[in-house]
């Protein structure tokens, strides 16, 4: 690909990008969210048309009008969001692109099925050709995507953040698989997880703001160097090394019982205290009651028993407005569903919790000017990359959406903050930014409850670490005593004291 | 016994208009387009269907095959209206609900206006005669119920398995289901989403117009502006009722028609029963059944009603 340029309304997504991949090579395409990686690959697949530049395959210029032309040239892409029709079988999904099986009056599903079995045996990718997509786990769906792409004759594979939705074990399996496959195929591998890049690729190209900033051999550089090139500055995830603030208790949960959506006790007599000026990390395998805990505190889920004391007020079974009014800040788990209203403009998302306050409205008429000023200020302070404050929040990348939520919650001057998986799926630069902001709030004397699965995140930031298991706090460890090993054991439900 | 046989023998041809229109609507919706304009397309089909033999015979009797020319013309007009609807909702991405209501008004209004211009007042036509199936129609009970109708009735019921085959066993059906459920995935596989939707809309329009022509030429044997009488909307409801599956849609069409013929029959019997309630019966039935069956909508085409734009991420 040479000198590719692509503009979207208000954004220059790709700015004069050139990359090349040789036969049997694995190129890692690295960059922050919104750097233009996916756009570039969509151009390569013929899904978007470039405004400038050309694509050469084996020295010949090609022009793809759509993905079918790209398939014919031996290209195949596994998209980050899987392109599988959920209420169809694996075979039917493959048949969608397998035109040899499209007989005039009949779709030859048997032929497709045989092809699926042949490919999955050849590459050791286990899939059941008759399973419906909705029955499969995320890892299985990924295998289906790979099989599908290979069935269509891909000799050149594009993988867009293939590990972002996988569990650690599934990720390891995928990396092994791709290592085997790279003898037969050329691969472009998009990622921002640098250990994977190191493990898999020969060459690395780094994009930033739609431009190529670096090209090189993977082996010559350390993950730190690549991270620095990716974000444009040294990435040093901050650590909480500050003295204890000796704050008063801010949030005290006593014997809290809450039911899950399916009716069983998700929190079963949970006790936890968070002080002012303290970060308490809540570690645990997801699904052990973290979601229900956050929802119960924020008035989104009814509490069956127990008290949630917040600066002397019981929050149990109150409505969200009451909780917000008492100074609670909340960064929810599902940023696209609970954190923002995706079709609303960024500036509107900033005032979701304050639209009826005098600052933004008068007699229920919105004050356009102060809303706009507020949005511009937050955008600049939090480095939110967007075409304008009237852009819909849902069209932003994950990292920028999280910054919108963080900006709203922090600048409302909360007395307390609950952050649920605040950095899930984000790139290094965004993680660093969010960690620094959380530590800044702690220094200001605000208590923070940090829910996370990432042990490094918890260990780096927390003053104390509480391990949750099956709706109970297993143990609370001071920062100095916690390490990956003993946290891992506690998260698995083993309590050595007993 | 005679009462029941009569009831069933009436119910079968009565369900044909609903069946054809809702199978057509099913193809639209499976491809992700919600077409509320079904009623309007039916009105146009009904008008064109009767106009052709009427003009050829100058208002008098005509040979039966001219009726089929009328049906052919109606089907072509229906496909054109489907194409026109596609232009509005697929290419220009207009909101489908509003555009559908527009199409409904356009179709009913245009058919009525042209009818007054070319025909004038209500005028009955000879229409399509019954063609009893040799031998089979002689079977007691079953023969009267199933095999003593006009050709369009047989066609409509034979088309149900054909529609099933098209939808689930051909590559075109696969494409239709994919663009209605997850157009982005279909697009990434090189399938032309908009083209597939246009094709489905043309097929749906043709079937809706055929349904209208059946009403004017075979069932009522006349045309009036209120001939369709909401059947287009019932057809849309039947698609939900039948969970986008041809056989279940057929069941829904038969059930609704049975209720309809039943209520007509009790009025005819002269039982002292307020007729308003009898007329309500089929509609109440649809509402009740819909409210019980529509909870589990896992089969629904999830992209229904959403225009597709490759370069806009949602």
Enter the ipTM: 0.87
Compare all CA atoms of chain B with the CA of A42 and give the residue at the minimum distance.
Answer: B188
- Please tell me which of A310-319, A457-466, B3-12, B201-210 the model is most confident about, judged by mean pLDDT: B201-210
> What backbone phi and psi angles, to 5 degrees, belong to A494?
-95, 125
Q: How many CB pairs under 8 A join A and B?
A: 73
pLDDT band at B182 (very low <50, low <70, confident <90, very high): very high
pLDDT at A272: 93
- What rounded mean pLDDT belongs to chain A? 86
Q: Which whole number is the average pLDDT over B110-135? A: 88
Q: Taking 60 as the threshold, does the pLDDT of residue B296 lie above it?
A: no
Domain boundaries, chain B: 2-131+150-293
- What rounded mean pLDDT belongs to chain B? 90
Whether A440 contacts A455, CB under 8 Å = no
- Residue A267 CA to its chain's centroid (Å): 26
pLDDT band at B298 (very low <50, low <70, confident <90, very high): low
Q: Taking 70 as the threshold, does the pLDDT of residue A85 lie above it?
A: yes
Q: Closest approach of chain B CAs to the CA of A89, in angstroms?
A: 11
Strand ranges of the sheet holding A156-160, from the earlier edge strand across to the other edge:
A75-78, A156-160, A186-191, A26-31, A203-208, A211-217
Q: Which whole number is the average pLDDT over A2-15? A: 74
In the numeric block, which tokens belong to residue A309?
């004391």
User: Do A67 and B298 make contact, defined as CB atoms within 8 angstroms?
Assistant: no
Q: What is the CATH number of domain B2-131+150-293?
A: 1.10.3470
User: Do A79 and B188 make contact, defined as CB atoms within 8 angstroms?
Assistant: yes
- CA pair distance B40, B29, nearest whole angstrom: 17
CA-based torsion, A117, A119, A122, A127: positive or negative: negative
Spatial CB neighbours of B211, under 8 Å, sequence gap ≥ 6: B16, B17, B18, B19, B20, B21, B24, B42, B45, B231, B235
Of B178, B298, B299, the CB nearest to A85: B178
Secondary structure of residue B222 in the 3-state scheme: strand
User: Do B189 and A96 make contact, defined as CB atoms within 8 angstroms?
Assistant: yes
Of A66, A87, A101, the CB nearest to B190: A66
Looking at chain A, the whole-number percentage of residues with pLDDT higher than 90 is: 32
pLDDT at B297: 55
Q: Closest approach of chain A CAs to the CA of B4, in angstroms?
A: 41
In the numeric block, which tokens belong to residue A250?
């801010």
Of B171, B188, B302, the CB nearest to A107: B171
Q: Taking 50 as the threshold, does the pLDDT of residue B314 lie above it?
A: no
Of B173, B185, B190, the CB nearest to A85: B185
pLDDT band at B68 (very low <50, low <70, confident <90, very high): very high
Architecture of domain A249-327+414-491 in this structure = 3-Layer(aba) Sandwich (3.40)
Q: Taking 60 as the threshold, does the pLDDT of residue A498 lie above it?
A: no
Q: Which whole number is the average pLDDT over A73-99? A: 91
- CA pair distance B110, B275, nearest whole angstrom: 33
Lowest average pLDDT, out of B2-11, B55-64, B197-206, goes to: B55-64
Secondary structure of residue B220 in the 3-state scheme: coil
Q: Which whole number is the average pLDDT over A32-49? A: 84
Lowest average pLDDT, out of A165-174, A272-281, A457-466, B24-33, goes to: A165-174
Looking at domain A2-231, its CATH class is alpha beta
pLDDT at B77: 97
Q: Which whole number is the average pLDDT over B138-163? A: 91
Best residue of A43, A74, A87, A337 to probe chain B, by most B CBs closer than 10 Å = A87
In the numeric block, which tokens belong to residue A317?
């079974």
Residues of A in contact with B190 (CB under 8 A): 66-71, 97
Hey, is the C-beta of B299 within 8 angstroms of any chain A C-beta?
Answer: yes
Per-residue model confidence as pLDDT tens digits over A403-449:
999 999 988 889 999 999 888 778 778 888 899 999 999 999 999 99
In the numeric block, which tokens belong to residue B164?
């099933």
User: Do A85 and B187 make contact, defined as CB atoms within 8 angstroms?
Assistant: no
Neighbours of B112 (CB within 10 A): 17
Instruction: Tell me the residues of A at the B interface, defined by beta carbons under 8 Å apart.
Output: 8, 45, 47-48, 66-71, 77, 79, 81-88, 92-93, 95-97, 101-103, 105-107, 394-395
Spatial CB neighbours of A323, under 8 Å, sequence gap ≥ 6: A297, A298, A299, A310, A315
Per-residue model confidence as pLDDT tens digits over A443-490:
999 999 999 877 888 988 999 999 998 888 988 999 888 888 888 888
pLDDT at A168: 66
Residues 152-171 of B with CB under 8 A from A: 169-171
Which residues is A204 bridged to in the sheet? A28, A216
Is 0.90 topped by the overall pTM?
no
User: Do A88 and B181 make contact, defined as CB atoms within 8 angstroms?
Assistant: yes
- In chain A, ranges of CATH 3.40.50.300 domains: 2-231, 249-327+414-491
Per-residue model confidence as pLDDT tens digits over A243-288:
777 788 999 999 999 998 777 888 999 999 999 999 999 988 777 8
- Please tell me which of B135-139, B219-223, B274-278 the model is most confident about, judged by mean pLDDT: B219-223
């Amino acid at each position: 690909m040479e000198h590719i340029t692509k503009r979207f309304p208000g954004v220059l997504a790709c700015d004069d990008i050139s990359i090349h991949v040789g036969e049997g090579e694995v190129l890692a395409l690295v960059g922050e969210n919104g750097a233009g990686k996916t756009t570039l690959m969509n151009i390569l697949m013929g899904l978007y048309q470039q405004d400038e530049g050309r694509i050469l395959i084996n020295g010949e210029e090609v022009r793809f009008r759509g993905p079918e032309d790209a398939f014919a040239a031996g290209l195949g892409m596994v998209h980050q969001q899987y392109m599988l029709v959920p209420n169809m079988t694996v075979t039917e999904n493959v048949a969608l692109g397998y035109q040899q099986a499209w007989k005039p009056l009949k779709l030859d599903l048997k032929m497709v099925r045989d092809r699926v079995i042949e490919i999955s045996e050849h590459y050791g990718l286990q899939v059941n050709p008759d399973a419906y997509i909705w029955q499969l786990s995320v890892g299985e769906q990924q295998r289906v995507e790979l099989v599908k792409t290979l069935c269509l004759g891909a000799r050149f594979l594009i993988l867009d953040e293939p590990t972002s939705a996988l569990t650690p074990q599934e990720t390891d399996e995928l990396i092994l698989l791709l290592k085997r496959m790279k003898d037969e195929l050329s691969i472009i591998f998009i990622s921002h997880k640098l250990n994977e890049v190191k493990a898999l690729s020969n060459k690395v190209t780094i994009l930033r703001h739609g431009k190529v900033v670096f090209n090189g051999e993977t082996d010559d550089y350390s993950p730190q160097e690549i991270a620095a090139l990716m974000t444009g500055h040294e990435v040093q995830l901050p650590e909480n090394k500050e003295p204890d603030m000796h704050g008063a208790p801010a949030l005290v949960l006593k014997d809290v019982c809450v039911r899950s959506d399916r009716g069983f006790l998700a929190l079963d007599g949970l006790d936890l205290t968070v002080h002012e000026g303290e970060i308490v990390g809540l570690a645990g395998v997801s699904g052990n009651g973290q979601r229900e805990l956050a929802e119960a505190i924020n008035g989104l889920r009814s509490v069956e028993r127990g008290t949630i004391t917040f600066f002397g007020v019981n929050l149990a079974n109150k409505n969200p407005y009451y909780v917000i009014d008492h100074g609670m800040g909340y960064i929810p788990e599902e940023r696209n569903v609970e954190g923002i209203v995706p079709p609303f403009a960024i500036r509107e998302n900033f005032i979701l919790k304050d639209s009826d306050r005098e600052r933004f409205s008068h007699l229920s008429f919105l004050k356009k000017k102060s809303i706009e000023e507020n949005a511009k200020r937050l955008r600049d302070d939090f480095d939110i990359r967007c075409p304008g404050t009237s852009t819909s929040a849902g069209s932003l990348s994950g990292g920028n959406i999280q910054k919108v939520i963080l900006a709203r919650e922090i600048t409302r001057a909360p007395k307390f903050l609950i952050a649920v998986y605040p950095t899930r799926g984000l790139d290094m630069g965004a993680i660093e930014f969010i960690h620094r902001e959380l530590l800044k709030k702690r220094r200001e004397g605000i208590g923070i409850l940090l829910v996370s699965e990432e042990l490094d995140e918890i260990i780096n930031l927390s003053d104390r670490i509480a391990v949750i298991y099956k709706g109970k706090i297993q143990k609370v460890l001071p920062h100095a005593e916690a390490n990956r090993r003993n946290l891992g054991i506690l998260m698995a439900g083993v309590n050595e004291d007993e | 016994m005679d009462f029941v046989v009569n009831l069933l023998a009436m119910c079968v041809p009565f369900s044909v208009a609903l069946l054809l229109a809702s199978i057509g609507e099913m193809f639209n919706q499976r491809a992700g387009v919600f077409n509320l304009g079904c009623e309007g397309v039916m009105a146009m089909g009904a008008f064109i269907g009767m106009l052709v033999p009427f003009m050829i015979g100058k208002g008098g009797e005509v040979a039966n095959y001219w009726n089929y020319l009328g049906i052919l013309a109606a089907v072509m007009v229906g496909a054109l209206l489907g194409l026109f609807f596609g232009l509005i909702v697929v290419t220009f991405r207009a909101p489908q609900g509003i555009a559908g209501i527009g199409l409904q008004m356009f179709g009913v209004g245009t058919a009525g206006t042209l009818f007054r211009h070319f025909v004038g007042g209500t005028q009955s036509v000879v229409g399509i005669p019954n063609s009893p199936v040799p031998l089979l129609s002689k079977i007691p009970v079953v023969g009267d119920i199933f095999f003593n109708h006009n050709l369009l009735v047989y066609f409509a019921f034979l088309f149900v398995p054909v529609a099933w085959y098209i939808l689930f066993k051909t590559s075109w059906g696969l494409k239709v289901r994919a663009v209605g459920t997850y157009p982005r995935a279909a697009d990434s596989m090189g399938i032309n989403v908009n083209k597939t939707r246009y094709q489905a809309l043309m097929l749906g329009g043709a079937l809706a117009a055929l349904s209208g022509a059946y009403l004017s030429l075979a069932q009522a044997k006349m045309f009036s502006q209120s001939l369709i009488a909401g059947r287009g909307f019932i057809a849309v409801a039947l698609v939900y009722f039948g969970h986008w599956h041809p056989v279940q849609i057929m069941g829904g069409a038969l059930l609704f028609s049975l209720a309809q013929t039943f209520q007509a029959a009790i009025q005819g019997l002269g039982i002292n029963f307020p007729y308003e309630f009898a007329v309500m019966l089929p509609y109440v039935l649809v509402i009740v059944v819909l409210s019980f069956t529509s909870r589990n909508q896992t089969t629904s085409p999830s992209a229904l009603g959403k225009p597709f734009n490759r370069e806009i991420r949602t």
